Copies of this chain bind each other. A is one copy, B any other.
């Protein structure tokens, strides 16, 4: 990954312009517009003209800021990956399995509803063979899974949850939660709804948390602290 975008991702629209603020604002406008277009039309289906139109910026500026369409796409992916990366970082075998899994599922569901476009760009990238992020998957993502799987495995060994393959359990959680972002059109059409209202979002979170916990031989934890949906 190219990275280095994060340092430029702040300060937009705050008071009178300081040096770099226009740049920061346009940078973010382009990234957001690009994410929208890439999610909806894929990499090749998206023209830089469309991105420029959506961002309200002249097309030439996109090349001025990012040099190439390919580079812009990499920045978008980089943006998305940083969203994905702060899950369960601090989990340990001392924690309560039900609480951890409940929190994991609910945070994943929340992310699906708050950043569906990001999820879709990522999904299409992987479906098409992950040409740009294979290295990321092979290293960081794989390490993350291996670590969490270790904790889950130990919980199973100690009889604190069902004896269930931890890696495939993680796949199950990923797939079932992301489904509501990636397949939004299908889900909404079948539910005969126009969008995911707050009620439906809670229903999905409750359903997936309860179902997955039951599959792990656990029961839903009592909500000690009020939940941040």
Using a CB–CB cutoff of 8 Å, the interface residues on chain A facing chain B are 39-45, 120, 123-124, 126-130, 134, 137-138, 141-142, 145, 162, 164-165, 167-169, 171-172, 174-176, 178-180, 182-183, 185-187, 189-192, 203-204, 207-208, 211-212, 214-215, 217
Our pick among B123, B167, B176, B203 for the contact of A191 (Cβ within 8 Å) is B167
Q: Which residues of B contact A138 (CB under 8 A)?
A: 189
Our pick among B40, B42, B130, B178 for the contact of A175 (Cβ within 8 Å) is B178
Task: Give the docked Cα–Cα distance between A134 and B41 (Å).
Answer: 16
Q: Which residues of B contact A162 (CB under 8 A)?
A: 214
Q: Is B215 within 8 A of A145, CB to CB?
A: no
Q: Which residues of B contact A174 (CB under 8 A)?
A: 179, 183
Q: Which residues of B contact A203 (CB under 8 A)?
A: 165, 168
Q: Is B183 within 8 A of A175, CB to CB?
A: yes
Q: If the complex has contacts A123-B127, A126-B185, A162-B214, are A190 and B45 also in contact, measured as CB distance less than 8 A?
A: no
Task: Give the docked Cα–Cα distance between A130 and B188 (Å).
Answer: 12
**What are 26 contact pairs spanning A and B, CB under 8 A?**
A39-B128, A40-B129, A41-B128, A42-B42, A45-B128, A123-B123, A123-B183, A129-B185, A134-B185, A137-B190, A141-B189, A164-B211, A168-B204, A168-B207, A168-B208, A168-B211, A171-B176, A172-B179, A174-B179, A175-B175, A175-B176, A175-B178, A175-B179, A176-B176, A214-B215, A215-B215
Closest chain-B Cβ to A84's Cβ sits at a distance in Å of: 12
Closest chain-B Cβ to A205's Cβ sits at a distance in Å of: 11
Task: Give the docked Cα–Cα distance between A146 and B178 (Å).
Answer: 22
Which has the most chain B C-beta neighbours within 10 Å: A45, A171, A174, A186?
A186
> 8 extra interchain contacts, Cβ-Cβ under 8 A, other than A124-B124, A167-B190, A176-B176?
A42-B44, A123-B127, A123-B182, A137-B185, A162-B214, A168-B208, A168-B211, A171-B183
Q: Is A212 within 8 A of B214, CB to CB?
A: no
